[in-house]
Chain A
């Protein structure tokens, strides 16, 4: 490994690249073939997962990895808890996890998966007579096979949004049965909607030991979520946070990124959030998450970054009409005018202005033209996805003039 200076950033980079991952799990390092060096021990912040008896680093891993090497590196670097689900990638995700963990000691990782209830009304979130234990148990057995393990540490009832579904007896009985059989160590429920109701139902039951919930700085009802989580933690439940990065972008076009490190730190400020499962899509993001695992301090700049929603309202929308796009479009679409109309629609919420802007444009022709190009050749100087905006704003032609003030 190349000699580096002593700056924190370079240490973290070189530590990651050297795959030292000097985690506080000597068994992993001893048996891992991946650790090239054992340098400075990481000062990993850990919390107890409720009354489960499991102590976890505050950073765990969600289920998306662009390459298996990302998960391997994460595990080599001190991350312990892996979260997946029966339905992710139609099973490919559990298979990928199984492939990666098969050569690791079973006690070197904490594995969670989720199985969804069936027969749930999508509009009401309520279980029905079709919500039976049998399909649930069958799916779980498939999950165990894919993962290649005899048990999971946490099994979640996947994604409930009501008290009724969370306390649905056939599923509670099924999970208790699996626990008695030794196939599940701890029972949990996951939710990313109507979180306070689900969390309180979990407290109410005597079965749940862990709650996995959406939690981030942009939730409109974040105070209610926090109160529910705190009450759950005080009742002995483990709290795992997901969707901590609030979608990753401030704007609909996904052009203005949220400071992901700041968002993650924010979610872990409360001690009753025992761990978070951010998804890291590349090694840079993993490195940032590992840094958070050692230091949760929100800097002044990071706090400011999380308060920028007002400033950023229009930043992702303003076209400066440089007109460089015109020559780049082989179909002669009036890109500047259409993108300006888009700004009126979504930035200023002024449909009248948006429609007026489109008066000289063959909107239907533009939308059709965009639909026939396999790849858009316009490289907007503002970085906008112009085809996406044109296709979107072209829908305005369907709005009757009578509806526009």
Chain B
């Protein structure tokens, strides 16, 4: 290829690779902030070089279908600063997932985006497929107020729905630990065959805890495959699942901190409760099944 053509191709490729993603561009989401001066253009990172920005933390983001992110700093006349990081993930579930991986609980929750919180000079929130992290410097007593205001501007710029993932509506509300819901992107319970899952924590009687989970498979065949793989796995390890009315119960031989796993499958969904308080499991299973039917996710 001639040098001129090569250079043209190189430039073209750079333009393509530097251009925006298909849904709203990360770069375009950085707002003008009255009273604040941006420091240069946003820096954009993708899956190949995210390590350069957040080093080993990048691995977790990649698991959550990270696409690209932008970062930009702003300063005011008094030298106070803030940095806005906007992460774009593949979809709402994954953005929620990475947000919940880093979210402390308890936290100072705020109504920004689908959900947000303030934590010692940092305000993080999630909206749609975007996870936003805003850090303030030398804002002192105005810290929370300023970050909140900026967060709302960015949230508005992102636009789109403010809802949390729809699957969270499946979880029974009784005894649910507030804001404990998470999305695990892959390897649920440490098993490669279990894909992703929504999880939530429950506080039962006498301090007993339980973990609820809902797995949305790609389709019914995928759900069948996951369940079969799980049952075969535990049987190979010498554990015999007990089945009653479609609910399976067993102790996972490797994920042993979970207590007894109680799970059921219908259509493309598998749901269950892991707990040492087995008496609560049936009611949970039944309620989730009802919720799934109400949401028309299963027949």
Expressed in whole angstroms, the Cα–Cα distance for A13 and B188 within the complex equals 19
**Residues of chain A within 8 A of B192, CB atoms compared:** 281-285
In the complex, how many angstroms separate the beta carbon of A310 from the nearest chain B beta carbon? Answer: 20
Interface string of A67-99 (1 = CB under 8 A from B): 111101100000000000101111110000000
Could you tell me if A159 and B101 are in contact, using CB atoms closer than 8 angstroms? no
A63 contacts chain B at the CB level, 8 A cutoff: yes
Nearest A residue to B133, CB-CB: A90
Interface string of B45-62 (1 = CB under 8 A from A): 001100111111101101
Could you tell me if A345 and B16 are in contact, using CB atoms closer than 8 angstroms? yes
Q: B residues engaging A (CB < 8 A)?
A: 5, 8-9, 11-13, 15-17, 19-24, 43, 47-48, 51-57, 59-60, 62-63, 67, 90-92, 101-102, 104, 119, 122, 184, 186-192, 218-219, 236-238, 253-258
Expressed in whole angstroms, the Cα–Cα distance for A221 and B24 within the complex equals 37
In the complex, how many angstroms separate the beta carbon of B29 from the nearest chain A beta carbon? Answer: 14
Partner-contacting stretch, out of A51-59, A230-238, A388-396 = A388-396
A147 contacts chain B at the CB level, 8 A cutoff: no
Interface string of A10-54 (1 = CB under 8 A from B): 000110110100000000000000100000000000000000000
* Given A17-B254, A87-B57: A192 touches B9 (CB 8 Å cut-off): no
**Residues of chain A within 8 A of B47, CB atoms compared:** 252
In the complex, how many angstroms separate the beta carbon of A147 from the nearest chain B beta carbon? Answer: 16
Which residues of A, 234-254, contact B by the 8 Å Cβ criterion?
Answer: 242, 252, 254
* Given A17-B254, A90-B104, A403-B12: A66 touches B184 (CB 8 Å cut-off): yes
Could you tell me if A392 and B21 are in contact, using CB atoms closer than 8 angstroms? yes
Contacting A403 at CB < 8 Å: which of B15, B52, B59? B15
A304 contacts chain B at the CB level, 8 A cutoff: no
Expressed in whole angstroms, the Cα–Cα distance for A374 and B167 within the complex equals 12
**Residues of chain A within 8 A of B101, CB atoms compared:** 89, 92
Expressed in whole angstroms, the Cα–Cα distance for A88 and B102 within the complex equals 8
Number of interface residues of A (CB under 8 A): 65
Contacting A90 at CB < 8 Å: which of B23, B43, B48, B102? B102
Could you tell me if B254 and A69 are in contact, using CB atoms closer than 8 angstroms? yes
* Given A92-B101, A375-B91, A403-B8: A122 touches B189 (CB 8 Å cut-off): no
Could you tell me if A92 and B189 are in contact, using CB atoms closer than 8 angstroms? no
Could you tell me if A379 and B190 are in contact, using CB atoms closer than 8 angstroms? no
A405 contacts chain B at the CB level, 8 A cutoff: yes
Q: A residues engaging B (CB < 8 A)?
A: 1-2, 13-14, 16-17, 19, 34, 62-70, 72-73, 85, 87-92, 114, 116, 122, 158-159, 190, 192-193, 242, 252, 254, 279, 281-285, 345, 349, 351, 367-368, 370-371, 374-375, 379, 388, 390-392, 394-396, 398-399, 403-405
**Residues of chain A within 8 A of B256, CB atoms compared:** 19, 34, 69
* Given A89-B57, A351-B12, A395-B16: A374 touches B257 (CB 8 Å cut-off): no
* Given A371-B22, A391-B22: A73 touches B254 (CB 8 Å cut-off): yes
**Residues of chain A within 8 A of B60, CB atoms compared:** 64, 88-89
A-B pairs, top 5 by smallest CB distance, nearest first, are A391-B22, A371-B23, A367-B22, A2-B238, A395-B19
Chain B interface SS verdict (over half): helix
Nearest B residue to A95, CB-CB: B104
Nearest A residue to B58, CB-CB: A192
**Residues of chain A within 8 A of B51, CB atoms compared:** 192-193
Contacting B21 at CB < 8 Å: which of A62, A69, A281, A395? A395
* Given A69-B254, A395-B21: A281 touches B15 (CB 8 Å cut-off): no
Expressed in whole angstroms, the Cα–Cα distance for A282 and B16 within the complex equals 36
Could you tell me if B57 and A88 are in contact, using CB atoms closer than 8 angstroms? yes
Could you tell me if B16 and A351 are in contact, using CB atoms closer than 8 angstroms? yes
Nearest A residue to B19, CB-CB: A395
* Given A69-B254, A89-B101, A395-B20: A281 touches B13 (CB 8 Å cut-off): no
In the complex, how many angstroms separate the beta carbon of A343 from the nearest chain B beta carbon? Answer: 14
In the complex, how many angstroms separate the beta carbon of B209 from the nearest chain A beta carbon? Answer: 13
The 17 listed contacts between A and B (C-beta, < 8 Å) are A34-B256, A62-B59, A64-B60, A64-B63, A87-B57, A92-B102, A193-B52, A281-B190, A282-B187, A283-B191, A284-B192, A394-B22, A395-B19, A395-B21, A395-B22, A403-B12, A404-B8
Expressed in whole angstroms, the Cα–Cα distance for A405 and B192 within the complex equals 45
* Given A192-B55, A283-B190, A392-B21: A91 touches B104 (CB 8 Å cut-off): yes
**Residues of chain A within 8 A of B63, CB atoms compared:** 64, 281
Contacting A349 at CB < 8 Å: which of B13, B22, B104? B13
Expressed in whole angstroms, the Cα–Cα distance for A89 and B57 within the complex equals 7
Could you tell me if B188 and A66 are in contact, using CB atoms closer than 8 angstroms? yes
Could you tell me if B190 and A88 are in contact, using CB atoms closer than 8 angstroms? no
* Given A1-B238, A17-B253: A399 touches B16 (CB 8 Å cut-off): yes
Expressed in whole angstroms, the Cα–Cα distance for A70 and B258 within the complex equals 12
**Residues of chain A within 8 A of B91, CB atoms compared:** 374-375
Expressed in whole angstroms, the Cα–Cα distance for A276 and B141 within the complex equals 45
**Residues of chain B within 8 A of A279, CB atoms compared:** 59
**Residues of chain A within 8 A of B258, CB atoms compared:** 69
Nearest A residue to B18, CB-CB: A395
In the complex, how many angstroms separate the beta carbon of A78 from the nearest chain B beta carbon? Answer: 16
Nearest A residue to B102, CB-CB: A90
